[in-house]
Chain A
Amino acid sequence: MSAINPEMMREPQSAPIRRRRGHRPGRRRGGLLAYLFLAAMSLLYVAPLVGMVVASLHASVRVDAPFSVAPYGDLIQRYGHELGVSVRVTVATILINLMLTIPAAYGLSRLHFRGRDLLLSALTAALFIPPVIFGLALLLAYGLVFKDLVDTLGGLILAMVVGTYPLMLLPLITVLRGIPPVYEEAGLVLGASRIRVFLRVTLPLMAPGIVAGVLLTFIIVWNEFLVTLFVAGTNITAPLLLYNRIAFSGIQPSTAALAVFLQTTSFVAIAVFTLAVNRRYAGRAAR
């Protein structure tokens, strides 16, 4: 295999693609305006959070109470159990959602069958049920039919799964529809089994959708309160505890500290996840 004329390999043009760095000078003023506008907009949600942070940094609920970080000191000790329940419910829900929705999304986007779109609509209907009605429905279902699930962690997790799997399913379907089947065909003709093609080609290419689904599920379940209120029983999650404490003993600094902690973990998780994924996949999926 050496009888090939090197001339044949040479390309007439091979302009390297360079990405423009820096700003165009004419855009600077507009950029500043946009920046100020967005900063002002972000105050809309930052301002209330600032109040919460301030409240969490005092020794007691009184306005003239001295500054203190004590409310954060025993956060884990005080609320460890509830935070643990939250972590378990969130992680379990995400994992179960993934296991359910990856095959479902694959089927709904790759296989052709009668009634596919109708099925998809039915599967995403949970998104359009108000949580309070959903909670009541689950309460009735558990109380009357699935009696084993009453007041169990499993029952709580199931409630979260039922309420959030469309949030995982939809991004997965979107991303799968954007992956041309030719990649899977290329894998097949190279001799890989369907399972191998799925694991080595389809699944990695689905990563942006998986990330979106995991983030959405995380944000909803980690902060879920209303449905939890109906089905939690004795499995008190951190947001539910937050509500209980505010309802029964007002806004204590330690309560505000828990709220800040929940909010911060959400932000950090989103930031870390997004950055990690951007670094790993930025621009690469584009041909």
Chain B
Amino acid sequence: MTRVRIDRLSLAYDRDVPTVDDVSLTIEDGEMACLLGPSGCGKTTLLRLVGGLLRPESGDVWFDDARMTDVAASRRNVGFVFQDHALFPHLRVRENVSFGLEARGWSKDRSRERVEEMLDLVELHGKERRFPNQLSGGERQRVAIARALATDPAVLLFDEPLSALDRKLRDVLKFTVQALQRASGKTAIYVTHDQSEAFAIADRVAVMHEGRILQVGSPTDVYLRPEAHFVADFVGISNRLPATVLDGGEAGGAVRVRVGQAVLSAYGAAHTVPGEAVMLHVRPERVTLVPNAADGPGDLLTGVVERTIFEGPTLQVWLAVEGARLIAEVPGVEELDLRPGMTVGARINHTTVLAADAP
């Protein structure tokens, strides 16, 4: 049961890996934290720093009260699940899972018992004698998880463990990973570039960009209350509407803004002052369309339909609003007989205010 504290870690000199720039993050005991970001953002570098596979230029890694910065990877007692599982190709499933136990000098009997326990846990009983190339992709990943859990590590580290698998399998296995992590009660850090994966399994998500953490929060916080333009854009589609602050306030409070003629109430992710030009972030599914716009009240925007895209469950509608594009995602195709050139009203149910020059 371990609390992981990343304290101002930096790594910039190693040109072979993306940089990490003064990153701090604390992962509580038993928590599953996701590092989310595009490739090259430094999320894997950060994970490898925690695992001891890279050495930081400055800063520290703490497991509870133990400073790990100078501790070798082999002595950190972490369970690491690699992107391509990295099962030893020349060893059988059984030998792969017992590798860490042998390194710790476990007796043959004790180690065999533990291997069976682990293979039962990931439901791979009976495949002990297979070689990795005789397993399916999902089975290999489960062996990798069993191998990481076998040594009873203090911390679990996942480096995009599912990215090599196809979509369907990923959707199932992410819950396997989550269930195994929950059941073991171990603190975990999970690296991914897939926001739906992160949202589905993480207690907290840390969005990374260019070596820095831009925002840490629950999946809903990160999605609905982004604190940076990059965060808003990276997790799902986000519309940007320029607006002017009517009455502002501290970050985290409500803000009234004007967009064209309409006055909207918004969540203020940043400190704002009246008259300030800001940017609104609007999620497409938070927009409802009102057919006869002319009679709308003060919170209704007016837009012209540019195009519509039928997506099955929903209809995507591109609107021109106050010189910007507002994409709305609405259910119910039949009742809205939308055609390009039509004028409609758009009501925004939730929006976040960000300073125009935020990252």
Contacts and interface: CB of A to CB of B under 8 A. Distances in A.
A106 B115 CA distance: 32
B132 A287 contact: yes
Interface in A1-42: 1-6, 8-16
Contacts of B139: 11, 14
B32 to A, nearest CB: 15
A286 B89 CA distance: 7
Majority secondary structure of chain B interface residues (helix, strand, loop or mixed): helix
B86 A9 contact: no
B90 A9 contact: no
B169 interface: yes
Contacts of A13: 166, 168-169
Contacts of B151: 190-191
B183 A1 contact: yes
Given A182-B82, A187-B99, A196-B103, A9 B89 contact: no
Interface stretch (B57-65, B70-78, B317-325, B332-340): B70-78
Given A186-B80, A189-B74, A287-B133, A12 B99 contact: no
A3 B183 CA distance: 6
B322 to A, nearest CB: 46
A13 to B, nearest CB: 7
Contacts of B142: 9
Nearest to B98: A190
Interface stretch (A50-58, A86-94, A140-148, A200-208): A200-208
Interface in B254-272: none
B123 A191 contact: no
A6 B80 CA distance: 24
A205 B86 contact: no
Interface stretch (B172-180, B213-221, B242-250, B293-301): B172-180
Interface in B138-152: 138-139, 142, 147, 151
B89 A2 contact: no
Given A11-B136, A191-B103, A283-B133, A205 B80 contact: no
B75 A191 contact: yes
A188 interface: yes
Majority secondary structure of chain A interface residues (helix, strand, loop or mixed): loop
Give the interface residue-count category, chain A: 35 or more
Contacts of B138: 11, 14
Interface in A163-197: 180, 182-183, 185-194, 196
A14 B52 CA distance: 35
Nearest to B159: A182
Contacts of A67: none
A2 B88 CA distance: 27
B179 A8 contact: yes
A285 interface: yes
Interface in B6-56: 51-53
Nearest to B141: A11
A6 to B, nearest CB: 7
Given A186-B88, A188-B74, A189-B53, 19 more contacts: A3-B179, A4-B183, A8-B179, A10-B172, A11-B172, A16-B136, A180-B86, A183-B88, A186-B80, A187-B88, A188-B73, A190-B100, A191-B75, A192-B102, A194-B74, A204-B90, A284-B89, A285-B90, A287-B89
Interface of A: 1-6, 8-16, 180, 182-183, 185-194, 196, 200-201, 204-205, 207, 281, 283-287
- Which 9 pairs, one residue from A and one from B, show the smallest C-beta to C-beta distance? A190-B100, A192-B103, A9-B123, A189-B80, A191-B103, A186-B86, A11-B138, A182-B86, A188-B73
Interface of B: 51-53, 72-80, 82, 84, 86-90, 99-100, 102-104, 121-123, 131-133, 136, 138-139, 142, 147, 151, 166, 168-169, 172-173, 175-176, 179-180, 182-184
21 contacts: A3-B179, A6-B123, A8-B176, A9-B122, A11-B136, A12-B172, A14-B136, A14-B139, A180-B86, A185-B73, A187-B103, A188-B72, A188-B74, A189-B52, A189-B74, A189-B79, A190-B147, A191-B103, A204-B90, A285-B90, A286-B133
